[in-house]
Each structure stands twice: as structure tokens, then as C-alpha cells.
Structure 1
Amino acid sequence: MIVVTGGAGFVGSNIVKELNNRGVTNVVVVDDMTDGSKFRNLVNCKVADYIDATAFREAIRTKTFAHRPRVIFHYGASSSITETNGKKILDSNFTYSKELFHWCKDQGVRFIYASSAAVYGNNTAFAEGDFQEAPLNVYGYSKMLFDQYVVKNTDLRSPQIAGLRLFNVYGPGEQNRDTIPSTVYQFYEKRKSFKAIELFGEYAGVEAGQQKRDFVHVQDVARLNCWFLDHPEINGIYNVGTGVASSFNDVATEVVSYFGNPEGYIKFIPFPAELKGKYQSHTCADISKLRRSGSVLRFRGIKEGIKDYMEWLESHEGLAR
């Protein structure tokens, strides 16, 4: 049995699909379905059971969870980078994650969890290691805090513990998430509605539209999670991105070009005052540690990845709302 927390969410549901693609159907989805629209992410999935997230956490906390899965993929914490309620974020991303971490250690259950590139903030280096973290918001801080806790409390007797620092993930399933979707999806929605795509203007020496991110397709992220499943000997914190930074202008151009006739659909707006000092102008995953671990997974570039995603959105319109 495999447990996927956040299994009805964006990345979690894609992990469930990838497990299904491998013939694995004994999957338990843990999630909060208060937002019932998330069911769409699981419509074509085969799962063995569903457990409410609050009930699951209580069972873990009280040590009454009766099952012993092969692995827990933990994608059920908060993914909101704009949340300002520090108590809420730390409870979800630090305390809950600690509870699961210790339960897995005690039970000998493997634990693969989502970290985030938000731990790096405006640092110019994006390699796993000491002194690289400089989060700009409480979300990034909560992820950094848990990563540091894991490193300090993992030893040679521990089962596999792997933290995956996700960069800018986009792709199928995000349209049903309860936080802000990727810019790729936002740009798609704008162009589909014949509205202009608005990019941030110049700020802090970065030219208009040239803020950059490492955009990684969610299906590649799911495949990498399953690579870690195949390699229980691999532990530690790993960046998950393509290793290439692309500007928002490049991404917007790919989206509007998919529909043809791109002229006039991109415009620049003043950089928002509320984001000044809190905004990452550049991210690019250093994936050398991942490659040294033995992973040769090919990540799609934005041209291929965005085309794949646009085609998926056009052919799954009923599941995209």
C-alpha cells in the first residue's frame, strides 16, 4: 500500500496517476475535500481508499493508524506562498510534517515529501547545502525549517527520507488547486479569453518581463517521485527543476503563439508595490546533486512542456473547471 497525502491536489494527483501507469492501484488518497471540485483530479484514477486529512493526522498523532504502507508521499501541506498567517502555515508545513516524519521513522516507513525552491529566496545560488537558504516569506521559512529538522533528525537507521525542493511546477491538475495556479495556466486563461497577458515591468535592475523561473512540468515531477520510490537507498534533500531558467516573457510568448497571431496579447504593468522586497526575480535549480544520485530523468523544456499542457487543456476542458 502507498499513501499520498494531498492526493487530490495538483502534484499529489499526478503522483497517483503515475503510480497507476505503473500498475499500482493499492493507493490511499489523503486529502481535505471541503473544496469538492478537487474530485476532478481523481476521476480517471484508481485508488484503494480515501481518508479525510484531519482524521488521518489524528490517527498519526495518536498512533492509531492501523496500516503500514510501503511509502508515504507527503504532498498534503500548504502550498500557498501568499498566506500571511504564520501560525496556520507552520502548523501545516512544519508541525504536521514533523508528526508524519516521526511516525514513518518509528514504523520503518519510507517518507518522500515536498519541499520548495521558496527556501532560497533571492539567493543567487540554488544548490542544496548550508547557507543557501534565505526565504522571503513565511511559506518559504516553514519549508526551510522542516528541511533543516529532517537533516538534523535523520540517521543511518532511518528508512528512506527524501525531500524534493520543487521549483515552478505547472501542468494538468493545477486548475483545481485552492491556491494561485502557475503563470502558465494564468496566461492560458487570459489568451483563451482574448485578454492581454500582463507581465511585471522593470524592477531592481531586471528588465520588464525578464524575471525568470525554472518551470518544470508536473508529470516530470511525478515521474521523479516514482524514481525515488524505485531507489530506496537515496536519501536527502534534492532540487527538482529543469536546470534552465526561462523568462516570463518567453513563457507568455509560447502560450500566445500556441493560439497563433501573438501580437498585442502581451503588455507590461508597473511592478506591484506589495511585492517589492518579497519577490524572487530569478530561480534556476542546480540539479547536479540529483544527477550524482543516479537520476537521468529528462525534464521537458518550456517549448515542449507548454505545448503538451496546452493540448491537454484543450482536450480536457470538462475537467479543467
Structure 2
Amino acid sequence: MYIVTGGAGFIGSAMIWKLNTMGITDILVVDNLSTSEKWKNLVNLRYEDYLHRDQFLKMIISGEDPFETEGVIHMGACSATTELDADFLMENNYRYTQHLCRFSLSAGARFINASSAATYGGGEHGFSDDEDGIDVLRPLNMYGYSKQLFDLWAKRAGVLDHLASLKFFNVFGPNEYHKGDMMSVVCKAFSQIGENGKLKLFRSHRPDYEHGGQSRDFVYIKDCVDIMGWLLENPDVGGIFNVGTGQARSFRDLGLATFAAMEREPNIEFIDMPEAIREKYQYFTQAEMGKLREAGYDAPMTPLEDAVKDYVQNYLAQEDPHLKP
């Protein structure tokens, strides 16, 4: 059995899609569906069973493993960078991950964990995924800190070589539709352009960046799950790994790629960045990908324009925009 936590969410459901394409359907989905729309991400997928995250947590804390677990892909977390309840993030993102890690290691199962590029903070210490340098990182928000805490714990506990903790950069692609304000700019841009023919982007509030010049390492969801599929097939590869393209691109580039994919003339309007996020805003992120390459992963990453075109034309513009095996 493969267990996917956050299995109805964005990256989790995409990983189930990937497992299905690998011929794997013996999957337990763990999530908290509540009243959200993310259940729609599961409709096209094939899996064995579903458990609420609280039921699952009680089970693994009790020491039970009725699943004959082969692997745990832990994508379940509160991913809102604006979440202010620190105690909630400590329990939901940090403590829960500790429990899952111990469960996986005791079961002899592969453990793949979602860390985040938010752990890098403002980027003043660079974007290297070398474990020796993680102690100096200073995340800018509590979400990033909750992810950083697990990586630090795993390092102290000496278990990093027995798991893969993945620092996802700016992931976009199908199955993110339930995320509201946390949806990618591509997804938001498709709606804005379709409704009024123009896209709104934040002005720069730093003199060294032009408006729309703020840059991110935008990575397509299909590349992310390809990497995780490879890690499942190579269980001896362990440690902290960046998941990005290795090339930063501007939000303006992203917007222009969306206009091109929609076959519309570019029309970008720049608006002030909300003061609430202005001081904690990352102006530049770029994954260093050498460590994953040295570990043996050699598949090319999808160029931004190609990824946006696939997302827009084969998903966002379709009646059913969800991933299908």
C-alpha cells in the first residue's frame, strides 16, 4: 500500500495521478475533505480507500500498520503562507510530520515529505539544499518555519539519509483549483484574462526590480511528480532536495506566457502590493538543482512557456480541468 497524505490536495492528487500512470492503484488517501471542493481532484483517480487525517494519526500513533506500507508520500499540510495560528502550524505541519516519519521508518517504508522553498526566507543565504547549511536559514513566515523545523529535527535525529524532504518552489498546474487565494498566478491569470482581457500584477516596491520583474522558480506539477516517482523507484537516495527548474523567471514572463497560450494580446496592469505582505515578500527565488542531478535524476524540466501552454490549453480551457490517468 502507498499512503498519500493530502491526497485530495494539489500536489497529493497529482501524485496519485502519477502513481496511477505507473500502474499503482493500491493507494490509501489521507486528507481532511470537510466542505472544500478538493474532492473533485479525486474523481478521475483510482485508489483503494480514504481515511480522515485524524483517524489516520490515531492509528499510526497507536503503533498499528494494517496496510503493509510500501511508501508514504506526505503532502498533507496547511500550505497558506498567510496562516497566523502558530500553534496550529506546529501541530499540523511539524508534529504530524514527525509522527509520520517515525511510522514510515519503523514500517521500513519509503518516506517522501513536502518541505518548502519558503524555508529560504528572503534568500540572503542562497538557495542551496545542502543539509550542512540549513541551520542558518530564517523563514519569513510561520508556514516556512513549520517546514524548517521538521528538516532541522530530521537532521538532529540522523534520519535524513533515510527519507526525501522536498523543497518545492513555485508549483503550478492542474488540480490547484480549490486553493483560493493560494492558486498560482497562471490559474488566476486565466480567469482574469478571460473575464476582462487583462492581468493584474504587483508593482515592485524595491528600486532594483522593475514592475513585474519579481522572479520565482516556477515549476510545473508534472515535473514535481516525475521527481517523486523517481524517488520512489530509488529508495537509497535520501536527504533534502530542491524541486524547481533551476531558472528564475519573472511574473511578467509568466503573464506573457499565459496570454500567448490563450492566444490573446498582452495587457498587464500593475497594482500596489498589500502592505500586510510587503515586508515579507520574496523578490527572487531560484532552486539549485545540482544535488538532485548528482543523485541521478536526469530528466529535463519543462520550459515555462511549454508548461503554461499545456496547463492552459489541455486543462484550464477544458470542461473538466482535472488530471486523468
Find the counterpart in structure 1 of residue 189 from structure 2: 187
Match of 1:229, as an amino acid?
L
Find the counterpart in structure 2 of residue 227 from structure 1: 230
In angstroms, what is the RMSD of aligned CA positions? 1.7
Find the counterpart in structure 1 of residue 102 from structure 2: 102
Find the counterpart in structure 2 of residue 253 from structure 1: 256
Find the counterpart in structure 2 of residue 145 from structure 1: 149
CA contact (8 A) 1:151 1:236 kept: no
In structure 2, distance between residues paired with 1:248 and 1:255? 11
Match of 1:148, as an amino acid?
L
Per-residue deviation at 1:189?
Answer: 1.2
Structure 1, unaligned stretches of length 5 or more?
none
CA contact (8 A) 1:154 1:161 kept: no
Find the counterpart in structure 1 of residue 20 from structure 2: 20
Find the counterpart in structure 2 of residue 30 from structure 1: 30
Find the counterpart in structure 2 of residue 267 from structure 1: 269
Deviations 1:14-72 (A, max 9, x none): 11011110111111111111135212111111101111111001111222342231110
Per-residue deviation at 1:315?
Answer: 4.8
- Secondary structure of the structure 2 residue equivalent to 1:50: strand
CA contact (8 A) 2:120 2:127 kept: yes
Per-residue deviation at 1:132?
Answer: 5.2
1:203 to 202, 205, 210: 205
Per-residue deviation at 1:155?
Answer: 4.4
Aligned structure 1 segments of 4 or more residues deviating by more than 6 angstroms: none
Deviations 1:70-112 (A, max 9, x none): 1100011111111011111111110100111111222222210
1:170 to 162, 169, 172: 172
- Secondary structure of the structure 2 residue equivalent to 1:177: helix
Identity of aligned residues (%): 35
Per-residue deviation at 1:314?
Answer: 4.0
Per-residue deviation at 1:277?
Answer: 1.8
CA contact (8 A) 2:98 2:150 kept: yes
- Provide the aligned length of Structure 1 versus Structure 2: 317
Moved more, 106-115 or 209-218: 106-115
CA contact (8 A) 2:127 2:285 kept: yes
1:135 to 136, 139, 152: 139
In structure 2, distance between residues paired with 1:178 and 1:98? 28
- Secondary structure of the structure 1 residue equivalent to 2:113: strand
Moved more, 311-320 or 281-290: 311-320
- Secondary structure of the structure 2 residue equivalent to 1:251: helix
Deviations 1:253-284 (A, max 9, x none): 11122223424x21111232212220110000
Q: TM-score, normalised by structure 2?
A: 0.93
Find the counterpart in structure 2 of residue 244 from structure 1: 247
CA contact (8 A) 1:117 1:167 kept: yes
Q: Sort the Cα spacing of 1:300 and 1:132 in 2 relative to 1 into closer, same or farther, 3 A.
A: farther
Structure 2, unaligned stretches of length 5 or more?
none
- Secondary structure of the structure 2 residue equivalent to 1:279: coil
Q: TM-score, normalised by structure 1?
A: 0.94
In structure 1, distance between residues paired with 2:272 and 2:178? 29
Find the counterpart in structure 2 of residue 291 from structure 1: 293
Match of 1:226, as an amino acid?
G
Q: Sort the Cα spacing of 1:187 and 1:140 in 2 relative to 1 into closer, same or farther, 3 A.
A: same
Q: Sort the Cα spacing of 1:166 and 1:253 in 2 relative to 1 into closer, same or farther, 3 A.
A: same
In structure 1, distance between residues paired with 2:181 and 2:227? 23
In structure 1, distance between residues paired with 2:101 and 2:307? 33
Deviations 1:183-218 (A, max 9, x none): 111111111212531111121222111000000011
Match of 1:91, as an amino acid?
E
Q: Sort the Cα spacing of 1:315 and 1:197 in 2 relative to 1 into closer, same or farther, 3 A.
A: closer
Q: Sort the Cα spacing of 1:255 and 1:70 in 2 relative to 1 into closer, same or farther, 3 A.
A: same
Find the counterpart in structure 1 of residue 77 from structure 2: 77
Find the counterpart in structure 1 of residue 280 from structure 2: 278
